[in-house]
């Protein structure tokens, strides 16, 4: 059998707008695995933010933090932490501008301020159990992503000054801070290097801007029906919405289930 590997984004791809996993998506992934194919996750989320989902789906290979922390069959195979000195400078500037920052490693996330409405608003949309407590010293750890909290347009001075980072807006009041050049595509490449899966047996599903590099790189790329226009223009195929059996229909289209 020609084993394929299929990478699934989480928010807007596996999970619907209510952060629920459709029954058809779960059924499709179980059938995919039963057919001998590999299911993996490629997400901007931290590992601790989707532990329950991994366990529910029986997935132990994942690209997290948009490619900065990669695990294959339960073993860490790649880490790409943020530049600490540059992050310290950015955080100092952010404090002056009253823009909170959240620091994230593989186990937890901590905020540099005791509380802020922007942190509450954005983190609550993820519908996860964790919430960042106050610990400004957490910046000294090996961090793979940080969150800058500001409204659209206010991130521009940081983009201009800190070339060590890429900035991706994921919420009205929050922007991901990532190592420059890091992407899901780069993390996926680390998995492929270990597995040796040929190009024609690589598949990916996504819906948002942080999926673009992944969808450009993967031979069989799917944009969700609820995905952004730019994503639909980039992917090879367009499936139905996440809440309209998008995962099931996409895998069916490739005869993987």
pLDDT in tens, 28-66: 999 999 999 999 999 999 999 999 999 999 999 999 999
pLDDT attached to residue 127: 86
Helix, coil or strand: residue 190: helix
Give the integer Cα–Cα distance in Å for 43 and 160: 26
pLDDT band at 237 (very low <50, low <70, confident <90, very high): very high
**What's residue 1's pLDDT?**
62
Residue of 9, 11, 211, 245 marked catalytic: 9
Q: Of 92-106, 114-128, 192-206, which gets the smallest average pLDDT?
A: 114-128
d(CA 230, CA 246) in angstroms, rounded, equals: 18
pLDDT tens for 180-208 read 998 999 999 999 999 999 999 999 999 99
9 carries an active-site annotation: yes
Q: What is the pLDDT of residue 129?
A: 85
The arrangement of secondary structure in 5-79+182-253, i.e. its CATH architecture, is 3-Layer(aba) Sandwich (3.40)
Tell the CATH topology of 84-179. 3.30.1240
Structure confidence by residue, pLDDT tens digits, 130-184: 899 999 999 999 999 999 999 999 999 999 999 999 998 889 999 999 999 989 9
Would you list the domain boundaries of the chain? Answer: 5-79+182-253, 84-179
Q: From 206, 226, 221, 231, select the one nearest 253 (Cα to Cα).
A: 221
Q: Taking residues 114-119, what's their average pLDDT? A: 95
Would you say 95 and 119 are in contact if contact means Cβ atoms under 8 Å apart? no
Residue 144, phi then psi, degrees to nearest 5 = -110, -15
The Cα 103–Cα 105 span in angstroms is 7
> Contacts from 50-59 at CB under 8 Å and sequence distance 24+?
50/10, 53/10, 53/14, 53/15, 53/21, 56/21, 56/26, 57/21, 57/26, 57/29, 57/30, 58/30, 58/33, 59/29
Note whether 5-79+182-253 and 84-179 share their fold. no
């Amino acid at each position: 059998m020609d084993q394929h590997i299929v990478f699934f984004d989480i928010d807007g791809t596996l999970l619907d707008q209510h952060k629920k996993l459709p029954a058809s998506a779960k059924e499709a992934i179980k059938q995919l695995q039963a057919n001998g194919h590999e299911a993996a996750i490629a997400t901007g989320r931290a590992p601790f933010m989707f532990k329950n989902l991994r366990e529910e789906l029986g997935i132990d290979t994942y690209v997290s933090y948009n490619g900065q922390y990669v695990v294959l069959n339960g073993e860490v195979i790649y880490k790409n932490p943020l530049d600490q000195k540059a992050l310290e400078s950015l955080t100092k500037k952010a404090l002056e501008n009253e823009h909170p920052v959240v620091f994230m490693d593989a186990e937890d996330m901590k905020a540099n301020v005791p509380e802020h409405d922007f942190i509450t608003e954005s983190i609550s949309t993820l519908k996860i159990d964790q919430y960042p407590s106050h610990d400004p010293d957490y910046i000294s750890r090996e961090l793979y992503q940080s969150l800058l909290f500001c409204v659209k347009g206010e991130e521009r001075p940081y983009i201009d000054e800190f070339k060590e980072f890429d900035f991706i807006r994921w919420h009205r009041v929050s922007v991901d801070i990532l190592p420059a050049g890091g992407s899901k595509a780069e993390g996926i490449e680390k998995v492929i290097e270990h597995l040796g899966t040929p190009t024609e047996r690589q598949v990916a599903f996504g819906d948002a801007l942080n999926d673009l590099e992944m969808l450009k790189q993967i031979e069989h790329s799917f944009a969700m029906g609820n995905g952004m226009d730019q994503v639909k223009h980039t992917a090879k195929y367009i499936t139905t919405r996440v809440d309209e059996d998008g995962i099931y229909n996409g895998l069916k289209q490739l005869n993987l289930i």
